[in-house]
Amino acid sequence: MTAFKDLGLASEIQLALDELSYSEPTPIQEQAIPELLAGHDVIGQAQTGTGKTAAFGLPLLQYLDPASDEVQAVVLTPTRELCIQVTQALRAYAEHLEIEIVAVFGGAPIKSQQAQLRAGGQVVVATVGRMMDLMSRHSLVLTGVRYIVLDEADEMLDLGFIEDVEKILRMCPSGRQTALFSATMPPPVQRLAESYMYDPTTIRITPKTLTVDAIAQAFVEVSAKEKPDRLVELLRAEEPEQAIIFCRTKIGASRLEKTLKARGLDVKALHGDMSQGSRDGVMIAFKDHRVRLLVATDIAARGLDIEHVTHVINYDVPASSEVYVHRIGRTGRVGRTGRAITFVTPAQRDEIDRIERDVKTSISAWETPEERLEHAPPPRRRKRAEPSEPTEGDGGPKEDAPTGKEQNEDAAPEKQEDEKGHDTVKLFVNRGERSGITEEDLRWALREGAVLPEEAIHDVRVLQRFSFVEVAPEKADRTVEFLDGTKLKGKEIRLEVAKS
């Protein structure tokens, strides 16, 4: 494993990293830092949280001349929140360097930022709008810039800043070094890289795990016309503590906010057409738990760390699997469980299959909380005394005791005999007639999904809320392994061996 000390960083920077307990670089750092130190332009495609700031920030600091007070490096960010975050990180890395790092962003007094620039700063971390403003006032001169970073370029595109970014790049010297980092690479961002970067090295980082186990994922298939009504129904059924509802466009987010407010729901919108002050106000209210529902465009998909978000709802299908991961990552935080629900029209149904393949996850059809409880495996209890033999007229075991006997965690599989005297093992299935499951559906799943020969399938019984199958003992573990957690008729099925 490569260590930071093997990457060729200056001793002052290495000292700061040691103090921050940075020992081993992340994959994006390990690949990008040597390329940037060698003077190459770099395109880094990586998600938030992979260590991008150190990947571009450490080579940036190494390039600076502390003896010169002119602006030598610029980091462009799409939002105020990211601007502040990057500035804090760079100042920590530059702890032992005689370097000034100035942050300029909207929503703060421009005169104080002008004063900081006049006092001298080798690095400027800026939001696009405030940088354009300062350049127009001649408070920010870029003639000495040798290093420029575009952080989260795809979000700059979403916010409509891409033309201003091009203007800023044209104002920088042609001999500069450029680094572009983006979670996705839509065509306009690719064209920007082709036009303003010189023979860039492209680094793509795919995390080993794109989602977290704490997030339960589901989809709702609904026509476009019925989406608002279905969303209101879903919100009332789920009763989220807090939820973020993602829309594809700013107009769509604004329209959905009005629709939900008209239905009496506590909701605010967050999108790029709002002023920085308005966005800050919404974010503070949401973080303080004064707003329960946030309707947002993908501007809110990165950089948010809010503990109480229990649900993420993709009202519009994400443009890519990477965006899907960014969105649903807003829930399931700090050890909590979370739920992510995606709306699709019938024409978009294949998008769910694509996300499942890309993210290596399972997305089941949405069920109400009551249905989820109904289809959960029965709780395991300590074994009680056996009930007395049923009297004449008694219907036998009730359906509410699905295994016929109380469950015992440590007991062995329940071996039985079928009508022909064959040894069998009974398996419990959490689906039944209410889920549209038939005996033939289960037999098909056993044959095709678990690859069981017909002679290994001894009995299949479908009840209202669950089912039983009896299979040859040597096939029981294989059946559970192959079928548990898979989908049958679009719904997830759970299998377990009935215990006696």
Please report which confidence band the pLDDT of residue 209 belongs to, taking 50, 70 and 90 as the band edges. Answer: very low
Task: State the average pLDDT over residues 327-334.
Answer: 68
Q: Is pLDDT above 80 for 129?
A: yes
Task: State the average pLDDT over residues 232-243.
Answer: 87
Q: Is pLDDT above 60 for 333?
A: no
For residue 99, give the nearest of 55, 67, 144, 131 by alpha carbon. 67
More confident residue, 403 or 103: 103
- For the chain, percent of residues with pLDDT exceeding 70: 83
Give the CA-trace dihedral at 126, 132, 133, 139, to 10 degrees.
80
Write down the pLDDT at residue 381: 37
Give whichever of 226-235, 327-336, 393-402, 432-441 has the largest mean pLDDT.
226-235
Q: Is pLDDT above 90 for 279?
A: no
Please report which confidence band the pLDDT of residue 226 belongs to, taking 50, 70 and 90 as the band edges. Answer: very high
Alpha helices for 7-79 (secondary structure H): 11-19, 27-37, 52-63
Write down the pLDDT at residue 491: 74
Write down the pLDDT at residue 335: 44
pLDDT in tens, 50-84: 788 999 999 999 989 998 889 999 999 987 778 88
Q: Is pLDDT above 90 for 164?
A: yes
Question: Is residue 83 a contact partner of residue 103, using CB atoms and an 8 Å limit?
Answer: yes
Q: Is pLDDT above 60 for 34?
A: yes
Write down the pLDDT at residue 393: 38
pLDDT in tens, 403-432: 333 333 344 455 565 555 668 899 888 888
Residue ranges and CATH numbers for the domains of the chain are: 4-204 (3.40.50.300), 215-373 (3.40.50.300), 415-497 (3.30.70.330)
* Sheet of strand 215-221: strand arrangement: 267-270, 293-296, 243-246, 311-314, 338-344, 215-221, 364-365
Give whichever of 77-81, 328-332, 436-440 has the largest mean pLDDT.
436-440
